[in-house]
Amino acid sequence: MINYVIDLTGLIISILGLILVLRSRILEKRSFRYFLWIFVILIAYAVTDLISWLTYEEVGKGWMLASKIGLFLESALSGALIPLLSGFLLYSAGEENVFRNRVFHMILVLFVLYLGFLTYAQFSTAIYYYDELNIYHRGPWYPVLLILPILMSVLNIGLLWTRRGRLTREKKAAFASFILIPGISMLIQILFYGVSFIVLGASIAAFIMLTYVMNDQTKRYYVQQVENSKLRTEILLSQIQPHFLFNTLGTISHLCADAPEAKKAIGLFSRYLRGNIEVLSKEMLISFDKEIEHVQMYLDLEKLRFGDSLRISWDLSCTDFLIPSLTLQPLVENAVRYGVRGNPDGCGTVKIRSVDCPDHYEISVSDDGPGFPPEDAQRFDERVHIGIDNVKERLQAICNGELRIQTAPGQGTRATIILPKEREA
């Protein structure tokens, strides 16, 4: 009876956690996905554990098969939570591609071994088995099934310790709770044979972790809102100075009457600056057409400078959507400066493309420059890093978008902006 109560309690907590995740507007996209999987697995875990107890000691081949399937699934699902936590921890610590991490590889290998032993247990009595009365027994190799999850958890503790400097206090507490509480629950379950403490412990730990992470991201969200408000105020206050700049440029343009190219360049530069200030002083989301207009002025200036050595290709299949202001232009500037101008002859093509996908818009900027190894990105100067990081942060904060960079030596570079449609407004 106590196991039914424990399983149902864990199930209710997991369902509440899933509802909270689905209704959240604060969670980042990747955090949302991790928590979605965590609570879906926990719900399935609680249900399969409940099935295994409901069929326990019921005599008959069908009942025994149901008990064995329930135990196999609940064991596999509980083990799957550990590498899932590892990936979430690494992502929260700033690692975009967790599959490159060696410790994560070790955890995945241990998880595969764990699944292998679980599968072997279905055809042997060495690890565990059910007798003819459908009663569960542990075999002599049963400790092996415990050692593998313990090793995975120890590696997670190592990941948490080595990356503690990259995590906020809330996230350190969140991950620590999800490692320690299920671990303690497992030890209790070993000591008190036949009681499903892990189901309840994992559900409580996941809910605590969700609470910590949501609190952390809520704080960051409001801090970002305050910073955006301050930035807008500073921009509006600074509009006094541009009047002097525009008047000066107008005077210089008048003096260049006998130099038409110089006059044209100054006119373009003046319009470019005015457009820059206008979009920054308005809402953070602007029409894509307006952003393209701003980029076109920048490219017109560069064409005056580099002539036919700079080629521009446009493929805009859609333009009727909103985009954070000044997120495309830095990518185009990098494509010109490090792509086209990075070629030995200083010639090349920048391609700007937009695509309307079912659930998002894609805007890509690609070049046929020399490219570079992703791990060698630090060869770019600090200004470029700040520009790219700023684009990433603004996309995430303003519309839950993201920026992806693909590059390789000799294959050029492609920067892609992903704008979710449901987050557009």
Report which of 72, 159, 156, 151 is spatially closest to residue 119, judged by C-alpha positions: 72
State the pLDDT at residue 294: 81
DSSP output for 43-61: HHHHHHHHHHHHSTT--SH
Locate the domains of the chain by residue range.
2-224, 306-420
State the pLDDT at residue 379: 47
Secondary-structure percent of the chain, ordered helix, strand, coil, rounded to 5:
65, 10, 20
Residue 26 contacts by C-beta under 8 Å, 6 or more apart in sequence? 214, 217, 218, 221
Residue 48 corresponds to which amino acid? T
What SS3 state is found at 351? strand
State the pLDDT at residue 237: 46
Report which of 90, 261, 86, 245 is spatially closest to residue 178, judged by C-alpha positions: 86
Residue 424 corresponds to which amino acid? E
Residue 141 contacts by C-beta under 8 Å, 6 or more apart in sequence? 117, 126, 127
Q: Which fold has domain 306-420?
A: Heat Shock Protein 90 (3.30.565)
What SS3 state is found at 268? helix
Reported as half-sphere exposure (CB side, CA atoms, 13 A), residue 63 has a value of: 15
**How far is 46 from 196, CA to CA, in rounded Å?**
10
Q: In what order do the strands lie in the sheet with 413-420?
A: 310-316, 348-356, 360-367, 413-420, 402-407
State the pLDDT at residue 1: 62
What is the DSSP code (8-state) at residue 372?
A: -
DSSP output for 63-118: HHHHHHHHHHHHHHHHHHHHHHHHHHHHHHTT-S-GGG-HHHHHHHHHHHHHHHHH
| Torsions phi, psi for 342 (to 5 deg) | -85, -10
pTM score of the predicted model: 0.54
| Torsions phi, psi for 403 (to 5 deg) | -120, 130
State the pLDDT at residue 120: 92
Residue 123 contacts by C-beta under 8 Å, 6 or more apart in sequence? none
State the pLDDT at residue 212: 81
Domain 2-224 listed as CATH 1.20.1510: no
> pLDDT (tens digit, 0 to 9) for every residue of the chain, 425 residues total?
677 787 888 889 999 989 988 988 778 888 889 999 999 999 999 899 888 888 878 888 888 888 888 888 988 998 899 999 999 899 888 887 888 889 999 999 999 999 999 999 988 899 888 888 888 888 898 888 888 988 998 999 999 999 888 888 878 888 888 888 887 777 776 666 666 677 888 888 888 888 888 877 777 766 666 666 565 555 544 544 444 455 545 555 555 666 676 666 666 666 666 665 555 555 568 889 988 988 888 888 788 778 889 999 999 999 999 998 878 988 998 899 888 988 999 899 999 999 999 989 999 999 999 887 655 544 444 444 456 777 888 788 788 889 999 888 888 899 999 999 864 43
State the pLDDT at residue 39: 92
Residues 423 and 377 sit within 8 Å (Cβ to Cβ)? no
State the pLDDT at residue 239: 45
Residue 12 neighbours by CB distance under 10 Å: 13
The pLDDT tens digits for 19-58 are: 988 988 778 888 889 999 999 999 999 899 888 888 878 8
